[in-house]
Amino acid sequence: MNGISRTAMRAVIATLCVMGITMLSATALATDLASLIADDPYPVEFGATPLLERPPTVTGFTGSSAIIEFTTIVETPPGLIRFGPLHSIGGVERPAYRKVTSEDNEEWTREHTILVNVSRLESSAYDSSYMENGGGVVAYRLEVFDPTFNVVRTYDRRFCYSRVGARRDGEYALAETIVLGPCVDRVGPGYFIVSWETDTASPGGVVIREGGVERAVAEDGENLRVIAESGATRRHEVLVAGLAADTRYAYRIQHGNAKPLTRWYDVRTAPDAGSRKPFTFAFASDSRAGVGGGEESIEGVNYAGLKAVLAGAKTHGADLFLFGGDLVNGYTSSEKRFLTQLDSWRRACDQVAFSMPIYEGMGNHEQVGDYFEVPDPERDGKVILMYRDRSDEKSVEALFSARFVNPPGSCYGNAHPDSERSDFGGVEREGPGYGETVYSFNYDNCHFVSINSNYWVTGVHHSYNTARWPSDHDGVAYALSLFGGNREGYLLPGQLEWLEIDLDVAQSDPDIDWIFIFTHEPAFPTGGHAYDAMFWRDRERTGNDGLNDSGAPRGDVIDMRNRFWNILSSHDKVLAFMCGDEHNYSRTLIDSDIHPTYEAPVWHFVSGGAGAPFYAQDTTVPWTDHVKAFSPVNHYCIFHVDGKRVGLSVYATSGVLVDEVEDLGALAGRSIDSTPQTP
């Protein structure tokens, strides 16, 4: 750090404070300090403390029992495993933990071994007859007490095994296992993309036949073909093309030498462009770990909330699912910890992702980067815990794009936006690539666009020994002045330009009737995030108005939001903007009453009900009279597209109908012909 010690830096900050340079002039202060801390600003490790040093791993068999080993960072009491087969009904696949076993000792230790006797499942009494045919898949849940935090940690995994000979007395062996997936990631009129991940590197392929699962099972062995293969790798992604549009297919995965193959799965290709056949899509957001423990907090994910939302959408016939960010807890300096959480989210989605494509977007909790403890010049002995996104292959955008399979830019051929730049404190910096966090695709007569409202974010984290909140205006301005980057909820010029070009083409596409935009941050928050998102209210300075200070780094928030909304409202095919961030449901109509430059009225949906803790309504925001519905409840949105009519049903995970609109276009006063194609 150019020979300047931490103590010396504190002394400089103290001197500047005595001279009257406070956080109210964050830019000036940052200029004085930039030369001292820009090169080496004391990066620190940050994030939830893990319990496992080595995750649960099946190391082999002893007799009919699988040997599962794991290592904890601290000594813990014996662990417990619940295990059982996978059950599939109604397009949803879930484990049935019929049996339980624990370690064969009572000592606290770091090295753990648990035996899982799979022969206990090889009985039709447990609806597991498929295991009688020589093996199968066992799902298991490891539960370990964490003495550091006095909680039980839960880890969901699965393994595949084979058996030669009779039950119990035969030869049991570990088989290659699909540990994540299979997932249908994208569907088109004559293709779909399927991905999966195995525990060992091996070749794989997709076996397919026309017709659904029932036909495939009844005629197994007839007219089968491997339509695509992938090389010897652990992560597989296969394009299955040359198919008919709007047609049901059955597929199964051939991976390595695993026997038997996976079961058959259903998938339906998309209708031809502009066919205007009825279809359904779902939207939800914010499945990060909730409160209450157990299934509400499994490796950074609220399994209970997310699984209920996905199963509900599948039950209501959703053909695809849009997810608006905050998948996981995030906020960590550890790449490994962040990827572990994303994998946990993917496991929770496995119950439906084999047939229902999920299109993921990034939220503010999708954050992994560098953290710094910067002394607070206004409060003696306090620090400001700041973070910034990285700009290389370890940026959150790069890691997120590598973990999911989404379109690589616009479906009209416009690649994702170029990297953006910042020039704060006299230092010019370049941000990461957007990767597959900004993209668009068409499905029948609708155009869908994912934008990244949490790109290259620099901010303040509310943590121990800190004097600042994440929405603190001075702290965020200070962090941006020091480290560059972007403000949460701020859409940079390159992305806005990309969006406008994409919408221009969709607007002129005769096959497209409606456009839907989805992201994470609300443009018009209604409960919990008026102090950031695309508003950044500060009651001490702006009252109930948002931040619009061109002198602060990325401080022209309201001007930015108006530029963004003008793009949306100037394209009269844009029907709805969908987001999360706020853990509630709201439906708001944004029109020229909000701002005179807004042309066509556009629905603004907040749907952050997939598991994160609830927020109450904020009735002080300027557009509160335009809020047509509000509810703090776990929920998901179902959009019914029937020709040019789009209906809406919002369901709580309990099954209660929260909100319903027969025709969103007509209710917004849109002139488009809304006559449905079906009676």
| Residue indicated by tokens 């993917």 | 346
Cα 657–chain centre separation? 25
**b/e 336-358 (16+ beta carbons within 10 angstroms → b):** ebbbbbbbbbbbbbbbbbbbbbb
Question: How does residue 35 score in pLDDT terms, banded at 50, 70 and 90?
Answer: very low
**Which residues fall within 8 angstroms of residue 224, CB to CB, at 6 or more apart?**
207, 208, 209
**Closest CA relative to residue 485, chosen from 418, 552, 555, 424:** 424
Beta-carbon neighbour count of residue 551 at 10 Å?
8
The structure tokens listed for 539 are 């009651």
pLDDT by residue (tens digit) across 174-184?
Answer: 999 999 999 99
Looking at residue 656, what DSSP letter applies?
A: -
Percent of the chain whose predicted confidence (pLDDT) is above 90: 73
User: For the chain, what are the domain ranges?
Assistant: 6-40, 52-175, 181-268, 279-366+391-423+434-453+489-667
Question: How does residue 470 score in pLDDT terms, banded at 50, 70 and 90?
Answer: confident
| Residue indicated by tokens 């084999």 | 354
Section 486-490 average pLDDT: 97
What's the angle, vertex CA 333, arms to CA 359 and CA 392, rounded to 5?
65
What would the DSSP string read from start to end of 222-290?
Answer: SS-EEEEEEEEEEEEEEEE-SPPTT-EEEEEEEETT-SSPPPPEEEEPPPPTT----EEEEEE---B--
Section 579-606 average pLDDT: 97
With a cut of 60, say whether residue 6 has pLDDT above it. Answer: no
Top-level class of domain 279-366+391-423+434-453+489-667: alpha beta
**What is the rounded distance in angstroms from the CA atom of residue 62 to the CA atom of residue 56?**
17
pLDDT by residue (tens digit) across 183-206?
Answer: 999 999 999 999 999 999 988 889
**Closest CA relative to residue 300, chosen from 47, 577, 679:** 47
Distances (CA, A) of 527 to 82, 530, 585, 631: 39, 7, 9, 10
**What is the rounded distance in angstroms from the CA atom of residue 668 to the CA atom of residue 604?**
11
With a cut of 80, say whether residue 424 has pLDDT above it. Answer: yes
pLDDT by residue (tens digit) across 397-418?
Answer: 999 999 999 999 999 999 999 9
CATH of domain 52-175: 2.60.40
Beta-strand relationship, 657-661 and 645-652: antiparallel
The structure tokens listed for 640 are 């019914």
pLDDT for the residue numbered 671: 65
Cβ 255 vs Cβ 269: under 8 Å: no
Residue 264: exposure state from Cβ atoms within 10 A (0-12, 13-18, ≥19) = buried
With a cut of 60, say whether residue 39 has pLDDT above it. Answer: no
What totals of helices (H) and strands (E) does the chain contain, helices first? 11, 34
Q: Look at the domain 181-268 and name its fold.
A: Immunoglobulin-like (2.60.40)
Q: Which residue has the higher pLDDT, 17 or 633?
A: 633
The structure tokens listed for 546 are 């948002």
Same CATH fold, 279-366+391-423+434-453+489-667 and 181-268? no
pLDDT by residue (tens digit) across 70-111?
Answer: 999 999 999 999 999 988 887 889 999 999 999 998 899 999
pLDDT by residue (tens digit) across 238-277?
Answer: 999 999 999 999 999 988 765 557 888 999 999 999 999 9
Section 18-24 average pLDDT: 33
- For residue 51, the SS3 value is coil
Rounded to two decimals, what is the model's pTM?
0.92
pLDDT for the residue numbered 525: 97
Cβ 86 vs Cβ 44: under 8 Å: no
Distances (CA, A) of 185 to 359, 429, 487: 7, 34, 30
Cβ 99 vs Cβ 118: under 8 Å: no
